[in-house]
Structure 1
Amino acid sequence: MDEYIHDDDSYRRVQALLLEEMERGLGKETVAEATVKMFPTYVRSLPDGSERGNFLALDLGGTNFRVLLISLKGEKVNMQNKIYPISQELMAGAGEKLFDHIAGCISNFMMDHQLVGVGRIPLGFTFSFPCRQEGLAVGRLVRWTKGFHCQGVEGEDVVRLLHEAIRRRSDIDVECVALLNDTVGCLMSCAFLDHSTEVGVILGTGTNACYMERLNRVGTWDGDHGQPDQVIINTEWGAFGDNGCIDFVFTDVDRAIDHDSLNPGKQLFEKMISGMYLGEVVRRVLIKCINAGLILSGQVTEELDTPSRFYTKYLSEIEKTIARIMTAATCSTSALWSAREPLILPLPVSIATLLNRIDKPSVTVAVDGSLYRFHPHFHNLMTQKTQELLNPGLKFHLMLSEDGSGKGAALVAAVSNRIAAAAEANK
């Protein structure tokens, strides 16, 4: 089982490789070959607490979507939302019908909240599908995922499609002023409360991260170079390793899971750590331990022998049960603590790489996702290992992000609205 244990030299080598891939993704001449794409999001300012007013948010990333109303007044936030379903027919039909349905739901929501006829309302749009942004409110769908196959959308600007659907109704006055993914929303949601937040990490079904980067290090930047001289970068780090650069840390279990997946050779880093795969990682490791006669008297149960049957949520449930037993028996958990490290180490390695690059004395890292939220030891393990991999003198803390895909989207819209109002006043 030695292949599952790596020393700090291995992890620092992974850090160096991730930094190389990030540089490649930021380079104008090298981005085409980069696996870590490092998309500029065009979000350049964080909330400063002066945002005021009503803002809509649209959160689309699965078979249900949400429309939200966020009312901001200083640090006070009032949020109301409603969930609307998307049928299989809409998911596989014409893109125009999908966006007409979304616009109809926005209209329904606005009527329920007496928002019709009160003037134009800014909207932030969390669109959790691979998208190449060309501006704060311009983004082209690269490809559908999560079961969507709508025709006429891939390669198109989804904000334009939304605006066209809104205009076809002619009963609501809404402008989408910002398009973002859930990592940016995660960061913005925490930055509203803690202005030192500069990293957002999603650790749920999938994994991704974004961070604030200086413009002079973004070779792919095609916007203006005025103040603020920074932009949030969507790393898309789930594809780290797709070029084979970190094969030396892959185990036979990692390789088997990739081989049996729907997208072999793709999103290899994500397959090491995200909620979609981590339960299967543990199931296969357990099978190896049983076959080696190390546990369960060498007997494999039918359930455990069934692929994908050991759900990631079981890890949290088992850990909570172990904690209760250990507490009752006053036993040492040091051995168990060490055994958990290989399962979570890809994340501390990556977070430390971002923090070392930002190179500020103290940075808050916003984190969201079911795996981080519900696992009883993830926070402590991530904090400990990340600190060990940081450059001397740097500090950080992890902060749970609350509803980044909803509140965060509205906050991006609010910041955009504040900046536009200030620019107008200075004319």
Structure 2
Amino acid sequence: MDEIQTLYPEAYRICQQFAIDQNRMEEIIHRMTREMTMGLAKDTHPRATMKCFVTYVQDLPTGRERGNYLALDLGGTNFRVLLVNLESESTVHIDGQTYGISKSVMEGPGIKLFDFIAQCLSDFCKDHKLESANLPLGFTFSFPCKQVGIDNGTLVAWTKGFKSEGVVNKNVVELLRDAIARRGDLKVKVVAILNDTTGTLMSCAFHKPNCKIGMIVGTGSNACYVEKTSNVEMLPGYQTSQKPYMIINCEWGAFGDNGVLDFIRTRYDIEVDNFSINPKKQVYEKCISGMYMGELVRNIIVELMDKDVLFKGVKSKGLHERGKFETRFITEIESDEPGRFRNAAMVMDSLGIRTSNEKDLMCLRYICETVSTRSAKLAACGLVCLIRKMNVKDLSVGIDGSVYRFHPHYHRLLMENMNLLLNGTVRYELVLSEDGSGRGAALIAAVCARD
């Protein structure tokens, strides 16, 4: 850091704007707690940024669920169909197929999107001779949804680049069932809709009964947690509910949409936000997730290059193109051993900047580390907020998503910052969830079938 400050004072000054100290982290937790309380309460829910949606999932797996279940996973540019065989607590077979979703389907009529999903499901079932099996199916739909039942979820808003028309404010399970019915060539029972955080929690709970939180840090970011049903005012009859707990889908990506995070946002965050497809929405997510981290780094690099501070004398048309610096490049650059810059040089070469200047590449890595460290600090704030809200002293946290899964230091950064904030008051474990979107969807289908 001292070397960067000496050699690249302008880069150091920019990166310092992303620094969040412990006092600011505590303030973030305080503000998030307030937003969550508003989301859970009936009177304040309409104006809360964190909607804290009821998932209608009140039973966690026991580890004794068995049988075959189908799962659909829609949460990004790839869509998956899976057949999950729960053979025993230690043996789960997953057979799946991934299908790419074109931009025209992502941004076209909703009927086209759901017809595509139904076609993929039909093709998969034919390949596996399941057309008439009538298996229970769990639908992982990783976009903000307001649920009024385990199999009834209304899309609130598209995120992650989707703009499919005619889906917002519609029950997506009904749209799926209609698309399947239009085909008339397969029998399945769509029994549950969930998002990837709920799937992550369920998948982890199959092996870790004390799992209380599911978190995603990937293309987007969100979390769910186990709340006392008596606190869930948005659940009809919550005061007389026979079941003591309810999984709550926080939709924490929207935290800060009302300005409460402006005190930690930089002008680079605002630039990325302004050019996104949903300006002034998903503010917290845009500071954390994989869809935006690379673009934050790109904006800083381009400014430093334009000022002739970094990669002097080198021009790159590619780097001036929005979205060109992918978040996976951050993972590759930070995977270099200390003092080595092979990956960094290869990344820049792929962007048309051929350089062996190790000081420039060291500065590049420092910028990447700055953005990923802030992401982990903010995610740690969210997790600590949920842990304090539940007031538990021993728990597992199921986590999935490409940033957590592939970034070489993200787990360590999360642990360091959670330890700083919790100060030894809670025993916790961060667990990489095994295919939460697939296995978790199947487990919810299994729990529904059990009921």
Structure 2 length-normalised TM: 0.82
Match of 2:403 in 1: 371
Which residue in the other structure is 2:86 paired with?
A: 72
Tell me: CA distance 1:27–1:108, structure 2 relative to 1, closer, same or farther (3 Å). same
Q: Compute the displacement of 1:281 (Å).
A: 1.8
Matched with 2:31 is 17
Q: Does structure 2 conserve the Cα–Cα contact (< 8 Å) formed by 1:355 and 1:390?
A: no
CA separation of 1:380/1:63 partners in 2, compared to 1, >3 Å: closer, same or farther?
closer
Counterpart Cα distance in 1 of 2:25 and 2:170: 40
Label 1:107 to 1:258 Cα distance change in 2 as closer, same or farther (>3 A): closer
Specify whether residues 274 and 144 from structure 1 end up closer, same or farther in structure 2 by C-alpha distance, changes over 3 A only: closer
Q: C-alpha distance in 1, partners of 2:22/2:108? A: 50
1:89 Cα offset (Å) = 5.8
Cα gap change, 1:264/1:74 in structure 2, threshold over 3 Å: closer, same or farther? same
**Cα separation, 2, equivalents of 1:96 and 1:179:** 18
Tell whether the 8 Å contact from 1:124 to 1:413 is kept in structure 2 after alignment: yes
1:257–1:89 CA distance, 2 compared to 1 (3 A):
closer
User: Which position in structure 1 is the counterpart of 2:443?
Assistant: 411
Structure 2: which amino acid aligns with 1:341?
T
- Cα offset, 1:173, TM superposition: 2.8
Q: Does 1:355 align with 2:387?
A: yes
Aligned pair partner of 1:393 in 425, 435, 440: 425
Distance in 2 separating the partners of 1:218 and 1:51: 27
Could you tell me whether the CA contact under 8 Å between 1:273 and 1:344 is conserved in 2?
A: yes
CA distance in 2, matches of 1:307, 1:90: 22
1:195 aligns with 2:227: no
Correspondence 1:2-401 to 2 at 5 A: 2-75=16-89, 76-86=91-101, 90-91=105-106, 94-118=109-133, 120-146=134-160, 148-222=162-236, 225-287=240-302, 296=310, 301-302=315-316, 303-323=318-338, 325=340, 341-390=373-422, 392-401=424-433
Give unpaired runs (5+ residues) of structure 1. Answer: 327-334, 421-427
Deviation of residue 134 (structure 1)? Answer: 0.8
The gaps in structure 2 that reach 5 residues or longer are: 1-12, 342-364
In 2, Cα distance between equivalents of 1:93 and 1:378: 36
Deviation for aligned residue 1:404: 1.5
How far 1:259 sits from its partner (Å)?
2.8
Distance 2:116 2:269 in 1: 40
Paired residue type of 1:207 = S
- Whether the 8 Å CA contact 1:387–1:395 is kept in 2: the answer is no
Give me the whole-angstrom Cα distance separating, in 1, the residues matched to 2:102 and 2:373.
41
Q: 2:141 and 2:375 mapped to 1: Cα distance?
A: 29
Structure 1 residue 183 displacement after superposition = 1.2
2-structure distance, mates of 1:411, 1:27: 29
For residue 72 of structure 1, report the CA deviation from its aligned partner. Answer: 0.9
Distance 1:206 1:87, change over 3 A: closer
Per-residue CA deviation, residues 238-261 of structure 1 (Å, 9 max, x unaligned), is: 111111112111122222322333
> 2: distance between equivalents of 1:282 and 1:90?
29
* Deviation (angstroms), 1:79: 1.1
CA distance in 1: counterparts of 2:219 and 2:433, whole angstroms: 16
Residue 4 of structure 2 is matched in structure 1 by none
Shifted more, 223-232 versus 249-258: the winner is 223-232
Contact kept? 2:295, 2:323, Cα under 8 Å = yes
* Alpha-carbon contact 2:76-2:219 (below 8 Å) kept: no
CA–CA separation in structure 2 for the residues paired with 1:338 and 1:63: 27
The one-letter code matched in structure 1 to 2:137 is L
Do the aligned residues in 2 keep the contact of 1:67 with 1:83 (CA within 8 Å)? yes
Supply the distance in 1 between the matched residues of 2:324 and 2:118 (Cα, whole angstroms). Answer: 38
Q: Alpha-carbon deviation of 1:193?
A: 1.6
Aligned residues of 2:301 and 2:310 also touching (Cα < 8 A): no
Summarize deviations over 1:152-178 as a string: whole Å, max 9, x none: 433221212322333444443311111
RMSD of the alignment, in Å?
2.8
Task: Provide Cα deviations, 1:164-197, integer angstroms capped at 9, x if missing partner.
Answer: 3334444433111110111111111111121111
1:208 positional shift: 0.9
Partner secondary structure for residue 321 of structure 1:
coil
Q: Which moves more between the two structures, 298-307 or 367-376?
A: 298-307
User: Given residue 342 of structure 1, which amino acid in structure 2 is its aligned partner?
Assistant: R
Distance 1:310 1:148 in 2: 20
Equivalent residues of 1:287, 1:300 under 8 A apart: no
Please, what TM-score do these two structures have when normalized by structure 1? Answer: 0.87
Q: Return closer, same or farther for 1:112/1:239 CA change in 2, 3 Å cut-off.
A: same
**Cα distance, 1:62 vs structure 2:** 4.2
User: Distance in 1 between the 2:305 and 2:168 partners?
Assistant: 46
Q: Which moved more, 1:222-231 or 1:32-41?
A: 222-231
User: How many pairs align?
Assistant: 409
Report if aligned partners of 1:366, 1:400 keep a CA contact under 8 Å in 2.
yes
Identity %: 46
